[in-house]
Amino acid sequence: MTMLHCPATVLLARHGEAAYEATTWSDAGGSLTRVGREQARALADRLHGRRVAHVYSSTMARAVQTAEIAAARLDVDVTTRIGLQEFSVGSFLQIERDIDPFAPTFAQWLDGDLTARIDGGESGDEVVARAQAVLQDIADAHPGETVLVVAHGGVLTVAIRNLMTFESGVKPKQFANCAFAETELRGDGWRLTGWSDPD
């Protein structure tokens, strides 16, 4: 049961800029570029003084590398969680990256139609359910603390749009690399309480 009287602050960040060896879509990780590593360090610097207690990460390499760089700078540990990974590319595994076959389904998810499914992959319901489960676990493990969660633009955007109520004056944006959304799990559900873009 969530400690509703003392909620965790959960900072949801997208990984840093990454490069990919393959020119086709893949569920594999990608690696941070030099710019991506600098973005991860800058993310940690922006969180200096926030007393981040722990860093959680998707299991994908670009997220793990971002999380480890930030955690080292914040002097905390990293835990990977499978539920934070990006949505599966499904049957589009060998499609060239200059084509975006996911856009129509992703647009449906953002409009609230979570029954839509990536061909050969996940439905919006499945993406949101796994994100909700892992974020709930993280919030329950850190009552009254601030934690950083490093994941991916797709899964984080869908989760925020479908799980969260937005505080007055706060609106979700497109996730830039190492941007983060500030959230809390309260008695009435998840709240988006702030947004921080890189400088």
CA dist., res. 70 & res. 37, Å (int) = 9
Q: Does residue 25 sit within a domain?
A: no
Mean pLDDT of the chain: 93
Q: Does residue 94 sit within a domain?
A: no
What pLDDT, on the 0 to 100 scale, is given for residue 119?
A: 93
Select from 28, 6, 5, 30 the least CA-distant residue to 16: 30
Q: Cβ distance 47 to 13 under 8 Å?
A: no
Q: Does residue 4 sit within a domain?
A: no
| 47, pLDDT greater than 60 | yes
Per the structure, the count of domains in the chain is: 1
Strand partners, 33: none
Work out the pLDDT band at 36, boundaries 50, 70, 90: very high
Q: Does residue 92 sit within a domain?
A: no
Average pLDDT over residues 6-35: 91
What pLDDT, on the 0 to 100 scale, is given for residue 3?
A: 45
Average pLDDT over residues 73-90: 96
Q: Does residue 113 sit within a domain?
A: yes
Could you tell me the pTM of the whole model? 0.94
CATH number at residue 154: 3.40.50.1240
Q: Does residue 44 sit within a domain?
A: yes
What pLDDT, on the 0 to 100 scale, is given for residue 78?
A: 98
What pLDDT, on the 0 to 100 scale, is given for residue 77?
A: 98
What pLDDT, on the 0 to 100 scale, is given for residue 5?
A: 66
Average pLDDT over residues 114-140: 97
What pLDDT, on the 0 to 100 scale, is given for residue 18?
A: 95
Interhelix angle 153-163/124-141, rounded to 10 degrees, is: 80
Q: Does residue 62 sit within a domain?
A: yes
Percent of the chain having pLDDT more than 90?
82
Work out the pLDDT band at 4, boundaries 50, 70, 90: very low
Domain limits at 115?
9-17+32-87+100-196
Q: Does residue 109 sit within a domain?
A: yes
